């Protein structure tokens, strides 16, 4: 498969062909996404939840992002790779954001960075873009700001809130954002924002009118404990947890009964050598 570049994404957008984005957090999950033909692999800070066992994304730090971005970069050979700027790595000033973005590119080997927020990020986005780093904007439900948003809540449900999202996106586009993630908003609002912008929008819980879609891989492959909370927008396309625990349970039982390893899983020795050994 040919390498996906910003040009490729721009062509998909112009053709009206939806862009398929999926998260990955390590080498195997990146390899799977890439092999399946995913256009953009996102190393989201959701890795805090899916890989590090945290309750939310607010504790994720740059060193963790870099480690995981590096492993993803080894698995995703064709996809365009985007890494999240974690909370605390970009808010202080544009210089801090440029420094963090450069680390994600140089040490984490990503092609672009994603940043959560709104119009206040204008100067920051401009500086990162000027450093030659493509920026994806993330508006709507921005999980890093969950404490200020009052939890994981759908955005844009009132006219005022929808107007704010549109305004944020327009300012961020003006500052240089080349693609947006729109998270958790009514489909009509996401569609209207998509129509007003001239760069692609990638929806998650934002309906079918966006220029593409993104999901968290661990969620959509069902690689989680039954009963764990998943948002309404998650469609489960596989049952990785079920298959993995089925296999692991069988392995455990076969170890206990000595059914494993049977002869086919062992290394032979000639009779002659064995007799000499046993003497
Ligand atoms: O962290 C993440 O995985 C994300 C996606 C849900 C867009 O930001
Ligand atoms: Na994220």
Where exactly are the structural domains of the chain? 6-238, 243-278
pTM of the model: 0.96
Residue-averaged pLDDT of the chain: 97
Residue 35 burial (10 A CB sphere; 0-12, 13-18, 19+): middle
Residue 171's H or E segment, with its range, is helix 159-175
Maximum distance among all alpha carbons in the chain? 88
Q: Is the CB of 84 under 6 A from ligand 1?
A: yes
C-beta separation of 179 from 189 below 8 A = no
Q: Is the CB of 60 under 6 A from ligand 1?
A: no
Enter the DSSP assignment of 220: H
Residue with tokens 């100067």: 123
Q: In this structure, which ligand is nearest to the CA of 41? A: 1
In whole angstroms, give the CA distance from residue 179 to residue 87: 20
Angstrom CA distances, 194 to 14, 91, 189, 233, 260, stand at 13, 26, 9, 19, 56
Please tell me the residue having the least CA distance from ligand 1 atom 8: 44
The string of pLDDT tens digits covering residues 168-195 is 999 999 999 999 999 999 999 999 999 9
Q: Which residues are catalytic?
A: 183
- What does the pLDDT average to over 250-274? 98
Q: Which tokens hold the place of 226?
A: 């039954």
Q: Is the CB of 46 under 6 A from ligand 1?
A: yes
CA 265: distance to chain centroid?
38
Q: How far is the CA of 163 from the centre of ligand 1 (A)?
A: 23
Contacts of 217 (CB under 8 A, 6+ apart): 22, 23, 24, 25, 29, 32, 33, 50, 223
Which atom of ligand 1 is closest in space to residue 57's alpha carbon?
A: 1
Is CATH 3.40.50.300 correct for 6-238? no
Beta-bridge partners for 19: 212
The string of pLDDT tens digits covering residues 74-110 is 999 999 999 999 999 999 999 999 999 999 999 999 9
Q: What percent of the chain has pLDDT over 90?
A: 96
Q: Residue 41: is its pLDDT beyond 90?
A: yes
Which atom of ligand 1 is closest in space to residue 23's alpha carbon?
A: 3
């Amino acid at each position: 498969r040919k390498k996906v570049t910003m040009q490729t994404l721009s062509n998909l957008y112009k053709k009206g062909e939806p862009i398929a984005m999926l998260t990955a957090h390590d080498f195997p999950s990146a390899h799977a996404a890439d092999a399946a033909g995913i256009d953009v692999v996102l190393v989201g800070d959701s890795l805090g939840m899916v890989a590090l066992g945290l309750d939310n994304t607010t504790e994720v730090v740059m060193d963790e992002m870099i480690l995981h971005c590096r492993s993803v970069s080894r698995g995703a050979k064709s996809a365009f790779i985007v890494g999240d700027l974690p909370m605390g790595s970009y808010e202080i000033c544009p210089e801090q954001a440029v420094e963090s973005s450069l680390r994600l590119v140089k040490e984490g080997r990503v092609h672009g960075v994603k940043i959560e927020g709104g119009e206040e990020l204008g100067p920051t986005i401009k500086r990162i873009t000027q450093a030659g780093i493509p920026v994806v904007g993330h508006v709507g439900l921005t999980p890093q700001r969950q404490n200020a948003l009052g939890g994981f809540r759908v955005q844009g449900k009132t006219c005022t809130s929808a107007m704010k999202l549109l305004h944020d996106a327009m300012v961020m586009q003006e500052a240089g954002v080349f693609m947006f993630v729109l998270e958790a908003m009514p489909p009509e609002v996401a569609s209207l924002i998509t129509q007003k912008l001239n760069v692609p929008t990638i929806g998650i819980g934002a309906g079918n009118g966006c220029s593409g879609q993104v999901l968290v891989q661990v969620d959509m492959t069902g690689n989680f404990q039954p009963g764990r909370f998943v948002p309404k927008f998650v469609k489960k396309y596989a049952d990785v947890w079920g298959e993995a625990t089925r296999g692991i349970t069988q392995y455990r039982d076969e170890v206990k009964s000595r059914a494993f390893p049977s002869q086919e899983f062992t290394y032979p020795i000639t009779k002659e050598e064995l007799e000499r050994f046993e003497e």
